[in-house]
């Protein structure tokens, strides 16, 4: 917490300062899908062209990430976005808003995390499992499932080792900076 007299910024300023350069909660790195609260949210998402589907018998509807409303910086349906999107404020954002983390530090953590995500994506492409229309964790899980059926060797084994290391670093960054329950796990 900032000491008395130090400048602090509010949540709105933290959102404007961080989110347009980040997008990790919309682009399929932090989450694989977004659950919807009610039929009104479902209608808005269907009207926006989202591929909504039933989550399961008890949890209603959801739509997949990467979100089709995310343009790389902003949400195309920001004013009517679902409640889960509205309510989610990652740890980093909350710390900046509370004056517990400098904006510059937060931006550098975002950049470091995005760089790790890009690296994982590129290594998955190299291994033949890059599917940018899927959440990053699902691409990785697909690769892991296929790996059990076929031995890997040579350059593939080298890239596989690199991928394991990068996934570990990315998982740590997501859990430490953004969301302790981040689902990017082997
Ligand atoms: S992960 Fe945090 S900083 Fe990044 S876009 Fe989402 S709320 Fe904003
Ligand atoms: S609806 Fe908007 S805020 Fe929600 S995941 Fe999609 S781009 Fe992000």
Closest residue to atom 8 of ligand 2, CA basis: 26
How does pLDDT run across 114-173, given as a tens digit for each residue? 999 999 999 999 999 999 999 999 999 999 999 887 778 888 899 999 999 999 999 999
Q: Hey, which of 47, 71, 82, 179 would you mutate to test ligand 2's pocket, going by the most ligand atoms within 8 Å of its Cβ?
A: 82
pTM more than 0.75: yes
SS (H, E, C) the chain: CCCCCCCCCCHHHHHHHHHHHCCCCCCCCCCCEEECCCHHHHHHHHHCCCCCEEEECCCEEEEECCCCCECCCCECCHHHCCHHHHHCCCHHHHHHHCCCCCHHHHHHHHHHHHHHHHHHHHHHHHCCCCCCCCCHHHHHHHHHHHHCCCCCCHHHHHHHHHHHHHHHHHHHHHHHHHCCCCCCCC
Instruction: For residue 106, give the ligand 1 atom closest to its CA.
Output: 3
Q: Per-residue confidence at 4, pLDDT binned at 50, 70, 90?
A: very low
Of the two residues 163 and 1, the one the predictor is more confident about is 163
Nearest ligand to the C-alpha of residue 21?
Answer: 1
How many angstroms separate the alpha carbon of residue 65 from the centre of ligand 2? Answer: 9
Q: What is the pLDDT of residue 89?
A: 96
């Amino acid at each position: 917490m900032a000491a008395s007299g130090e400048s602090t910024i509010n949540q709105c300023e933290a959102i404007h300062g961080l989110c347009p350069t980040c997008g990790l909660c919309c682009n399929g790195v932090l989450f694989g899908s977004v659950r919807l609260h009610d039929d009104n949210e479902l209608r808005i998402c269907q009207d926006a062209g989202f591929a909504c589907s039933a989550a399961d018998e008890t949890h209603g509807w959801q739509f997949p990430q990467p979100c089709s409303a995310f343009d790389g910086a902003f949400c195309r349906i920001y004013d009517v976005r679902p409640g889960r999107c509205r309510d989610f404020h990652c740890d980093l954002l909350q710390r900046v808003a509370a004056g517990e983390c400098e904006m510059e530090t937060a931006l550098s953590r975002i950049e470091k995390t995005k760089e790790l995500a890009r690296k994982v994506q590129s290594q998955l492409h190299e291994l033949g499992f890059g599917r940018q229309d899927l959440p990053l964790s699902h691409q990785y899980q697909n690769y892991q499932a296929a790996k059990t059926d076929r031995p890997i060797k040579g350059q593939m084994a080298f890239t596989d080792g690199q991928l394991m290391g990068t996934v570990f670093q990315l998982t740590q960054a997501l859990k430490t900076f953004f969301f302790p329950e981040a689902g990017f796990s082997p």
